[in-house]
Structure 1
């Protein structure tokens, strides 16, 4: 795959800010460049960035309708009314439900939780869920990570004497549901300082407000932060501002004293003796929690997260691990089928998007399949199947194309839709499928430039091997936790040469183990280039080449050292710019 390397040098003003920061902070100008790129140009802001503090969390009562929500919850607690916590079946929804339930069960036993069945009920608030609430005597439903568009369902609940509080983070429509409270930082009338909370993050702000209003010390909430960190990482929301603070302390909780449910998952992932990172959550912990809702029932994930004994947690984690194995097999089979269909029937030279449908595909994995197709074909992908008499599916997008807005532009032929800039869900009647395909492709043709369909690597800064010192690595660690809008920096080093010992490694020699020097040092630096053994000839030729990479810790035989994770190797495609 031929990548386009994007590297924007700092402006003169930014260079002055960088150098000023370097003097004040006593750290590498390269790291100060990374701060400038993240919008941090003062030593005060840099201090806050490097020293996350729970005191910097915003007042939860700044969220719209929070005061109304707390008043209604306190009424329910005071009158011993039955409360139902209702959430989506993905990681964000199940962690949100578990978090609010864990907090409220300290004050009432008249409490229940509900996760809709992906297959019988579909996404969001369902009449089935409301009927369950009525049957069990519920007077208040607290919906988390869903409900922002549930106008009819909230009215249905109201007709049965059931109140709703909605805590969501998805984009609202112009008209909001007639709930007691609609808490969403994305409301047009919201003045909340940070709009990128996860659904579980909104749940945390809800219990923070309840604690604050009842003079419960914040220390009573810190054991809930592990769930928030799992939701932020899994839902791919920006790890900036308030999310960065919540994730930083949530990771500390996960690594020191995780809840029993998470401990069960950590054990089954083989992460017990490892410092767990955002990547571990994204690739190991999150998929297992998700697998429950994808393959069976999302409620099982909440059951696990609320486990009261380690034996119960281990048993439930083992079940969820089996679901994850099944999910992987299904995901691979459907992805292979989709690729075979596209390669056999679609002229990709004339298409800027993919909308594919097969009524036999498993609803639980089509979002993953859409992600894989987007990655392979570098185009937004909508993967659809049939469920409950409707065509339903998931969409994923390429950088720069707002798939949510594209789907919203087709709302007159849709039954339902929701999501974010790069990931969304939708449902429609079968007779509208062809028109949706036509409109979505027309929007893609209009809005997607050719460079958006070429794989790109965004380089943060130039770095010489001489600058990679223990202090540099230690200071760089202060940028974590990494995630959207605070990504692990990608560095470029020009004119690198093989030390003479680089070689292909791994099964079938598909990877490339590198030992390199540059103009600034004769001491070799170690690197690994996964699936890039085809570059072996370039490396071994003796000619200089350029590399872009991230810096990672690698532990082998109990010894930890720094290794370059090489993203791409080039013989000088950017030679004019350095």
Structure 2
């Protein structure tokens, strides 16, 4: 975090001192107007490869490759890694090289696209689906070592394994240590080096989890107090004690819990660096545009953004963005809704149904996993599990059939409901639980409603 996200003038000075003639940005640059002007003054050409939302003015780069800037490109929602892959395809076409050689890179494209939480639709869906096939057969030493270190099932990797096992370890290096560790892992051809680096990334990720848990507890207290005392629709939380490397994760967790936009700010030397996450119906980037006169810098998308702000302007920013939210967020939108796709009887749930559901993969934003509901279910048994007993594990009975269910983060709901009732309505995903070489059907519980 010495240089921060994206282009910066110090890096351009270093490029000039080393006689660089070309800078290629990846996943940044579309709003780096001053920095690219400085590069041009040094006689350095700049090619911008990005996917973030452009502001009104764009930099005077040699070329800009960005689906949100090029109105002729048919799909706007590529991740940064997806745009980079399209550039590689264009170069191969120009150089008349075999495009099939690029297919071996699709594991990286899937990894980056899933980690960036882009919509799993259109071109992204194709890149992720094909990329997961390559990832499950990858011959790259770094990825193989990372898969083994993460404890996931090599050959059966899906979006969930990437999201919760692989991506956090890669991201942890850049959040709390040196991002070059992750880069070296992805590039190495050495099996021993790959094993060492993957272990190192796991250690950093464990530390990141510990740091994040502590910050989450404190930020959660601030958030509930702000809702109770100020009834804000957008929660702006700031502290000098919060590590900048994990605030984006904290924002995501709190949005899931509170269902309202959250901006977490880490303060240092009079400057705040913030990471925000939003909800459907509130375009965070457009809201930030209306606050740009009090921001040093900002960028991002509809549902995720980053800001830089002077410490003493945070109260004004909080007030203004909440005034904007009053116009765009209805009270109903602050109450989370669970959309159910179909009602089902437990007796109809079997391995063939799971196979049919999995044809719709990959699941993610824009293509969510189907949610089913079942009414008047008898709870046969339940218990709280997890290191902090935050998850709810239960057995559901219908006539002679018993299915197991897991409700992540639903411990409070379980304690409240099952002290009074054993018959409930359930909403859930239907999944395979693979453990110690065996496969069982498991319901991933998304909602519980007591009946009697």
Q: TM-score, normalised by structure 2?
A: 0.92
Q: 1:567 aligns with which of 427, 446, 451?
A: 446
Instruction: Choose 241-250 or 258-267, whichever is displaced more.
Output: 258-267
CA–CA separation in structure 1 for the residues paired with 2:368 and 2:336: 17
Question: Structure 2 matches for 1:463-482, cutoff 5 A?
Answer: 463-482=344-363
Which residue number corresponds to residue 558 of structure 1?
437
CA–CA separation in structure 1 for the residues paired with 2:314 and 2:445: 43
The verdict on how the C-alpha distance between 1:258 and 1:245 changes in structure 2, with shifts beyond 3 A counting, is farther
Whether 2:309 is the aligned partner of 1:432: answer no
The answer to whether the 8 Å contact 2:350/2:441 transfers is: no
CA–CA separation in structure 2 for the residues paired with 1:367 and 1:438: 21
Q: 1:244 aligns with which of 112, 125, 141?
A: 125
SS in structure 2 of the partner of residue 357 of structure 1: strand
Q: Deviations over 1:360-392 (max 9, x none)?
A: 322111212222332333321111123465222
SS in structure 2 of the partner of residue 174 of structure 1: coil
SS in structure 1 of the partner of residue 205 of structure 2: helix
Shift of 1:557: 4.4
Q: 2:51 aligns with which of 158, 169, 186?
A: 169
Which residue number corresponds to residue 400 of structure 1?
281
CA–CA separation in structure 2 for the residues paired with 1:162 and 1:493: 62
Whether 2:28 is the aligned partner of 1:151: answer no
Aligned residues: 445
Shift of 1:219: 1.6
Shift of 1:142: 1.2
Q: 1:351 aligns with which of 232, 235, 245?
A: 232
Shift of 1:148: 0.2
CA–CA separation in structure 2 for the residues paired with 1:266 and 1:143: 29
The answer to whether the 8 Å contact 2:421/2:451 transfers is: no
RMSD, matched Cα = 2.3
The verdict on how the C-alpha distance between 1:222 and 1:388 changes in structure 2, with shifts beyond 3 A counting, is farther
CA–CA separation in structure 1 for the residues paired with 2:396 and 2:218: 40
The verdict on how the C-alpha distance between 1:476 and 1:168 changes in structure 2, with shifts beyond 3 A counting, is same
The verdict on how the C-alpha distance between 1:129 and 1:412 changes in structure 2, with shifts beyond 3 A counting, is same
Shift of 1:443: 1.6
The answer to whether the 8 Å contact 1:198/1:232 transfers is: yes
CA–CA separation in structure 1 for the residues paired with 2:265 and 2:372: 39
Shift of 1:466: 4.1
Q: Which runs of 5+ in 1 are unaligned?
A: 1-117, 574-578
Whether 2:42 is the aligned partner of 1:191: answer no
Which residue number corresponds to residue 140 of structure 1?
22
Question: Structure 2 matches for 1:210-359, cutoff 5 A?
Answer: 210-273=91-154, 275-343=156-224, 347-348=228-229, 350-359=231-240
Which residue number corresponds to residue 81 of structure 1?
none
Q: Deviations over 1:269-324 (max 9, x none)?
A: 11254611111111111111111111122232212211121111111222222221
SS in structure 2 of the partner of residue 138 of structure 1: coil
Which residue number corresponds to residue 385 of structure 1?
266
Shift of 1:346: 6.2
Which residue number corresponds to residue 405 of structure 2?
528
Q: Deviations over 1:70-89 (max 9, x none)?
A: xxxxxxxxxxxxxxxxxxxx
CA–CA separation in structure 2 for the residues paired with 1:249 and 1:366: 32
Q: Deviations over 1:238-270 (max 9, x none)?
A: 111111111111111111115222222212111
Higher normalized contact order (CA 8 Å, seq sep 6+, divided by chain length): 1
Q: Tell which structure's C-alpha radius of gyration is larger.
A: 1
SS in structure 1 of the partner of residue 339 of structure 2: strand
Shift of 1:121: 1.4
